[in-house]
Structure 1
Amino acid sequence: MPDTAGSPVGLHRVLEPAGVLPQAAQRLDASPGLWPDEIRISVERLNLDAASYRQLAEAHGGDGDAVRAAVLEIIRSRGKMQNPVTGSGGMLVGVVDEVGPASPLGVRKGDRVATLVSLTLTPLRITDGLEKWDGRGEQVPAQGHAILFARSIVAKLPDDLVPELSLAVMDVCGAPALTARVVRQYVDKGIKPVVSVIGGAGKSGSLSLAAARRAGAARTIGIVPVDAEAERLTAAGLADVVALADARDPVALAKAVEEAGGPADITVVCVDVPGCEHGAVLSTAAGGTVIFFSMATSFSAAALGAEGLAADVTMLVGNGFVPGHADYAIDLLRSEPGVRGLFEGRLQAEGQD
């Protein structure tokens, strides 16, 4: 272990190219020895972000063994989990194995924790070949270790929730927190906004709908692509109106939102497929706000699309961090039966695949 603290943002772990932050690096040093301000986590489970997993599954034709091999090769070659196509990663849960004497993260050896920073910047080494994962779901049982820096973010897992459920919630906890913040900004100005959530039956989408309603939205609209998701979201009771639309069809999406009580003052994009940017802009009212949470988003397409449509909208990138976001999302899960039901149903379905 070096005597001096490392870079709080992990520059000392970058192997190549020199001078970039860990997220932009091609390779990280994932060796287990700690710098004084780092912590090492014994990994129990990875959660691949939805866009990354979808891309890998489609690229390999749903072949779970091939997906597993691809993930292992990414981690082996890069020292982190960063899908080279989507640029995204996910997060993990595990047990704190060692804490450097200068670490400011406030955890102790033995704490079960979730990392609230992306796997794209987290030094990671896998030692079990992911042998317990069939490659057919976003949650990945795993053994190995991960390293967190002084400016990383980590949360202790609540005792009343199974780790798989906590992991699923914390993976997307930035979405409801930012949605609530934006809705409250409208309410503080005397405007009770109409909020449309594209992908409302998913993890981030269901939490964002609950957050929007709690923060004072006048109407919540959940957009889903198929009848089965519409039925689940309707049963959950999280949206005032549930509408069917393919978010990749801008005209159809705008029409569905309008018929549901729009256009939306706030549109939240939570789908894991590309090509939804123009529809999000077109279905948002003049002077409104679009929040992009999907890692499948093309931000050039969003910006140029808004320009081409002469759309006066503010576009926000959900960066995954809002102070207090993990506690807020866990509270929504505990207090909103519809949210919990959707999450537990999703985990059950993945376990049966």
Structure 2
Amino acid sequence: MAPARHGIPVEGAEDLQGDETMSNDLYGLSRVVGEKGVLPQRARKLDPSLPCRDTEMLIDVESLNIDAASFKQIKGEVGGDPARIGERIQEIVRERGKMQNPVTGSGGMLIGRVKEIGAKHPAREQLQVGDRIATLVSLTLTPLVIEEVKAVHVDIDRVDIRGHALLFSSGIYAKLPSDIPDTLALAALDVCGAPALVARYVKPGMTVAVLGAGKSGALCLAQARRNLESRGKLIALDVSQPALDVLSSMGLCDVALKVDATQGVDVMEAVSQATQGQLCDLVVNCASVGNTEMATILSVKDGGTAIFFSMATSFTTAALGAEGVGKDVTMLVGNGFVPGHASLTLALLRTEPALLQLFATRYV
């Protein structure tokens, strides 16, 4: 076998279940069932069986925070009944060895307690058995077993369970803070890549719009307001007037527009009116429903930027849609990871009392 780079054999690897491979498996290829060379996120099925291997961390799982688009789809599929939602999630995990919605392709994240740390896992230097953590990689690539669904919290997309998960050496995580309640920390860390990417791209003087008034939208608005430094314009867009009223009362936006984001032309006209025809330098899509790509693209001025954080986004639709309307727009996919994203997001909650209160109201 040829030498390995980053823990993965580069040539002649005939047996991904071999002892040498398993002991150097940074990305979890040895957990993929029946698809040689496929990474866990794209795999049809993972093997979540014990024991924990040298490059893995074993977690006693307490709660799953299901991606908003995924939870919405499952809720609609089973008619909104909490028990049936839990059954459907268990069914997916039994079938796939991970939580990956077959319709949306998305997963979520989890919180739990460290039970075991493999001898070659880098977390041995930072964590101890018993520490409580939130994983910051998707459930779509996390081997998972659900032994029992304890509760389904329909209003906050969370499922409390008894079970275990395995985190690969490449998997990022955050130790749960002692000064913020778990449910709040979980809700914020679930979307912490969004405000961190906003921090990278928003500059003073910009006109910025955030589509969606949920947790990621609120965090993005809070970070954008900081970056704008009182220079520029900040617009919140959502279909819910009460949600917009809350954001306005907190001072998280200069303009709040009640719009149906599936109606792209209507949204563009509302944004155009609010910006005196200039449109936006940057639009951040945090919507949890599909068919919002064109509302995002049409609201951006030529030469502007669109960031898609919604897992309901069709990137084919976005690319062909921008081409079809002749819009020169840079489109970014928020991949959920930005260096320092967990610390940045928790700092927003600590230093923005109104934002912390909003999360406490919505997610406890």
Distance in 2 of aligned mates of 1:224 and 1:305? 21
Structure 1 counterpart of 2:171: 152
Equivalent-residue separation in structure 1 for 2:153 and 2:354 (angstroms): 29
Partner of 2:59, secondary structure, is: strand
Give matches, 1:244-263, under 5 Å.
244-261=258-275, 262-263=278-279
Secondary structure (helix, strand or coil) at the match of 2:30 reads: helix
What amino acid maps onto 2:360 in structure 1?
A: E
2:247 matches 1:229: no
Q: Secondary structure at the match of 2:243?
A: helix
| Counterparts in 2 of 1:213 and 1:63: CA distance versus 1, 3 Å | same
Aligned: 1:213 with 2:225:
yes
1:127 partner SS:
strand
- Map Cα deviations across residues 44-90 of structure 1 (whole Å, 9 max, x no partner): 11100100000001111212222111100001111100000000000
Normalised by the length of structure 1, the TM-score is: 0.93
Partner residue of 1:111? 131
**Residue 313 of structure 1 pairs with residue 329 of structure 2:** yes
1:1-353 alignment, distance < 5 Å: 5-105=23-123, 106-128=126-148, 130-133=149-152, 137-184=156-203, 192-199=205-212, 201-216=213-228, 218-261=232-275, 262-348=278-364
Q: Is the 8 A contact 1:225 1:244 kept in 2?
A: yes
Distance 1:255 1:137 in 2: 32
| Cα deviations by residue, 1:98-146 (Å, 9 ceiling, x for unpaired) | 0111111332211110000000000001112x03336564111111111
Distance 1:44 1:65 in 2: 18
Which is further off, 278-287 or 101-110? Answer: 101-110
CA-based RMSD: 1.6
Q: CA 1:251/1:68 → structure 2, altered by over 3 Å: closer, same or farther?
A: same
* 2:9 aligned residue: none
Q: Secondary structure at the match of 1:310?
A: coil
Q: Separation in 2 of the partners of 1:111 and 1:259?
A: 51
Code of the aligned partner of 1:114: A
Poorly superposed stretches of 4+, deviation over 4 Å: 1-4, 134-137
Identity in percent: 49
Give the number of equivalent residue pairs.
340
Distance across 1 between alignment mates of 2:280 and 2:83: 42
How far apart are the structure 1 equivalents of 2:247 and 2:135?
A: 29
3-state SS of paired residue (2:165)? strand
User: Is contact 1:236-1:341 (8 Å) kept?
Assistant: no
SS at match of 1:275: coil
Please report how far the alpha carbon of residue 218 of structure 1 lies from its aligned counterpart in structure 2 after TM superposition: 1.4
Amino acid at match of 1:229: A
Distance in 2 between the 1:34 and 1:206 partners? 38
Offset, 1:333: 1.1
- Residue 201 of structure 2 aligns to a residue in which SS? helix
Distance of 2:60 and 2:305 partners within structure 1: 40
Unaligned runs of 5+ residues in structure 2 are 1-17
Determine helix, strand or coil for the equivalent of 2:224: helix
Does the CA-based 8 Å contact 1:92-1:115 persist in structure 2? yes
> Does the 8 Å contact 2:114/2:132 carry over to 1?
yes
For 2:282 and 2:112, the matched residues in 1 are separated by 36
Q: Distance in 2 between matches of 1:135 and 1:65?
A: 10
Unaligned runs of 5+ in 1: 349-353
- Give 1:316 shift: 0.2
